[in-house]
Chains A and B, each alone.
Chain A
Amino acid sequence: MELRSNAFLENAGEALHNTAQAERRDMIALFAPLLRSAAIAGFDGFDNLRQHVKRVRQHSLDNLYHYLAQFEQEAVHNGNRVHFARDGGELNSIVLDICQQHGARRIAKGKSMVTEETGLNAFLQRAGLDVMETDLGEYIIQQAGETPSHIVGPALHKSAGEIRELFRNKHDLGPRELPETGDLVSEARQVLREHFLKAEVGIIGANALIAQSGYSMLVTNEGNGDLCANLPRVVIVCTTIDRVLPRAQDATAMLRLLVRSATGQSQTCYTSFYSGPRRESDLDGPLETHFVLLDNQRSEILAGDYREMLECIRCGACLNHCPIYASVGGHAYGSVYQGPMGSVLTPLLTSLEESHLLPNACTGCGRCAEVCPADIPLPDLLRDLRHEETRKKLSATRWRQGLRLHAWLARHPSLYHRLTAMIIPVLHRLGRRRGSFSRLPFAAGWTSQRDFPTPQARTFMQMYQAKVKQRDEQ
């Protein structure tokens, strides 16, 4: 998708003025954390497991190329073909080549943030292929021509009414009204079923790659991933290199954290392991299977200061607990990944120049780090990105110099106290009657939304030093 992260403030402004969507976001922000905390309260040892999985993930990343090689060897042994793609363009070309080799016209696609990252759908469609998203949320936004607003629930921003209207415009409904939400689901299911049966190629993502067996693991709640992976003749699994884990039990340990953190379930409805093409004794399954493993900056991230970000398991808990995400919604971020994890990842996958506002979309409240099942210190990483922003002078000069001046003054206490002892009493006299200022020239951003409380008569240091002096004189 086209990156629109530097329009964050404009996007956010629009979102804040859409009251219906703001109310939906408030509801989700209220319920999603409750679901998560209920799931974790009923699960003994979440924190221990979190630390265990963190160590496993760190170990996997420390030995990433070893485990990737092992995965490749095992996957090939199982009859898969394994491709490595340096960037999004390479992934898209590899996938298109496979589709064209098979003369495919129809593609059934499971949910995959990685292919959102590479813009695969648009690429395949430009080449004349009929690509249909089969995850309900992805299907809805594909019909609407939108991008995901949430990495787990891509269409969470849409109400049932909006989806009904969308289906009325896009489907041939005849006299049917689809009054209930269940009717909407049935309608989508009907359309999708036909596509599943006709598709020549299925494309799915993966939540983990298992080095020891060469399998991939995928979780869904709709079972659409399994239909994509079993009905078409050819299946392509698209994911990134950092998804590799040593053993199957590592993947399932991660799964226990992932599902509870994402949706508050104890288990997803479908958890599938894909080994490769149909074997002679198998009754069904694809004839040919591919893995396309994308790097797209992961090697650079691994070698740099933000490698902990590669431990992210894409649960979306940080989005669900972020007050900024709740306030402005996912589209404001103008990027594939949203919320705290997206605000770290986007600058790393694109460039800080194109997305430096995102690391500023943080109050430092720390809820994201508190709930992160991968224990990633997101507020620290966001601050470190602001550090880079400052060093690269991407933030406003006036702002940067103002803070620098303040820090310099704070390092010169006598001057600081003399200056503040002059300014504060003036401010007090100007504002004491009303108690607050409705406008202040040096705080326009602040006073656009709230008053600025008037200071008390003198600074504490003025008063305290006077008190000390008086005592010394006695």
Chain B
Amino acid sequence: MNEQQRDHTAPPGAMRVALFVTCLADLFRPSVAFASMALLERAGCEVTVPLLQTCCGQPAYNSGDYEATVPLARQVINLLEPADYVVLPSGSCAGMICHHYPRLLEGVWRDRALELAAKTFELTVFLQEIARSKPQPIQPPGFPSVTYHDGCAGPLRESIREQPRHRRAGPCAGRYRGQRNAAGRSLLRVWRHFQAKMPEISGKMVGDKLNQARATGARILAGGDLGCLLNSAGRARRQGDGIEVRHIAELLSGNLEAPPIGEGT
């Protein structure tokens, strides 16, 4: 199996990007991964998908099992370091590689982790700041209004705040509804220990988040971290909330064929 499958349609001299789709997109929402590919290709990148990718190791790491995480982190470094750039459609997974691999590893592995970190980006940051792609105006008439949920790993670890809003200028121009409580960007991490270990508390937090989103009057709640979105969508379904939950990559790519997260066919 060829690990670095190239998309041969890319123009010569294009930026070579390895896409790490993240385990959640792989398992639960391939449409996010395909949308990310489409966006990167549209931005003129040559996209490869390393076939031996699985998970960045956050579940074990966040629960405190560093011993189980170290070999996985080394495996990810081995897999991704040949690329010019590594892009992930998740702020928390990008943060794992950029900030936590160097913290976790030692010696030569730490050096390699730092080198990888220097060329690893969350999707919207990469599109905005590295590829400098122009958002495509693909706004259909009557496109619903959107509110954006800042995943907590985004603004803090990756300084992702303006990029997704800027990108939104594409499909959702004029449709953005800010959330009232700017300080309450929240905190709906999933696939880590918290939702499962302390469900009642996280239930309150995601309930509050949905109240804020609903108060904007937006039809779509978008975000850049599938973990947060699965949590929000699951809670919205439980409450019978009408708000649609989608990953920002799907909105930006303009391909909304897949039903929103948590909704049936």
A residues apposed to B, CB below 8 Å: 9, 12-13, 16, 22, 26, 29-30, 33-34, 37, 321, 323-324, 327-328, 359-367, 369-370, 380, 383-390, 395, 399-400, 403-404, 406-411, 413, 416-417, 420, 424, 431-436, 438, 443, 445-456, 458-461, 463-465, 468
Contacts and interface: CB of A to CB of B under 8 A. Distances in A.
Interface stretch (B10-18, B57-65, B113-121, B131-139): B57-65
Given A407-B65, A407-B72, 10 more contacts: A12-B198, A13-B200, A22-B204, A366-B153, A399-B63, A411-B71, A446-B234, A451-B262, A453-B233, A464-B30
A360 B103 CA distance: 20
A449 B238 contact: yes
Contacts of B203: 448-450
A380 B103 contact: yes
List the 8 closest pairs (A to B, CB-CB), nearest first. Answer: A386-B64, A449-B203, A365-B152, A435-B264, A450-B234, A460-B30, A453-B262, A407-B68
Contacts of A450: 203, 206, 231, 234-235, 237-238
B5 interface: yes
Contact of A460 (B33, B205, B231): B33
Interface in B7-55: 21, 23, 25-31, 33-34, 49, 51-55
Nearest to A462: B30
Contact of A364 (B25, B60, B153, B259): B153
B84 to A, nearest CB: 20
Contacts of A34: 183
Interface centre among A321, A386, A456 (most CB of B within 10 A): A456
Contacts of B238: 438, 449-451
A360 B197 contact: yes
Contact of A389 (B64, B181, B233): B64
B230 A453 contact: yes
B192 interface: yes
Interface residues on B, range: 35 or more
B30 A9 contact: no
A469 B192 CA distance: 34
B195 interface: yes
B194 interface: yes
B111 interface: no
B5 A468 contact: yes
B206 A363 contact: no
Nearest to A420: B27
Interface of B: 5, 21, 23, 25-31, 33-34, 49, 51-55, 57, 59-66, 68-69, 71-72, 75, 103, 152-153, 156-157, 181, 183-184, 186-189, 192-206, 208, 230-231, 233-235, 237-238, 258-259, 261-265
Given A365-B156, A456-B28, A456-B258, A400 B65 contact: yes
Nearest to B186: A323
A38 to B, nearest CB: 12
Contact of A433 (B157, B197, B202, B264): B264
Contacts of B259: 435
B38 to A, nearest CB: 13
Contacts of A432: 264-265
A364 B204 CA distance: 17
Contact of A366 (B71, B157, B183, B265): B157
A305 B129 CA distance: 37
Interface centre among B53, B60, B264 (most CB of A within 10 A): B60
Contact of B195 (A367, A370, A445, A460): A445
Given A435-B265, A459-B26, A406 B55 contact: yes
Nearest to B201: A327
A448 B66 CA distance: 29
